[in-house]
Amino acid sequence: SIGTITTIDADGKLRVYTSSCSQKAWMLDPAEVEVVEEQPICIGDWVRVKSSVPTPTHQWGEVTHKSIGVVQKIDDDGDLWVAFCFLERLWVCKPSEMERVRPFNIGDRVRVKHSVVTPRWGWGMETYASRGVISGVD
């Protein structure tokens, strides 16, 4: 359930109202909850398919749960059109199937994940030990 904080006690306990609770507030430790962002996904947001989605409405194609893309368009039906660096065409999905991810920014320090066996465009002169700094985002 998603609830709304109604009171924060002096000792930090949260009192939360949910539609499934009776009139009594639900008491929670702040370490046990997370804030739910309810802002809609917008053009320019970096996104991926939620792990809870078994198959997107418009199918997978080459996209996976690990793929990260950038929203390019939102059509009149509310569908998202997402650019992935490995696709020539935009991939279409429902907003409810996607979640925001932290965007990459100029100056971010990066390295290849250990779970990657071979990077999509090869290793070049780099290795797992290589580190880099993002110098541009197209």
Q: What is the pLDDT of residues 45-86, one digit of tens each?
A: 999 999 999 999 999 999 999 999 999 999 999 999 999 999
Name the residue ranges covered by the structural domains of the chain: 1-36, 46-100, 104-138
Place 6 in a pLDDT band, splitting at 50, 70 and 90.
Answer: confident
pLDDT, average across residues 75-102: 96
Under the phi-then-psi rule, with left for phi > 0, alpha for psi from -120 to 50, and beta for the rest, what region is 92?
beta
CATH topology of domain 46-100: SH3 type barrels. (2.30.30)
Instruction: Tell me the pLDDT band of 122, cut-offs 50, 70 and 90.
Output: very high
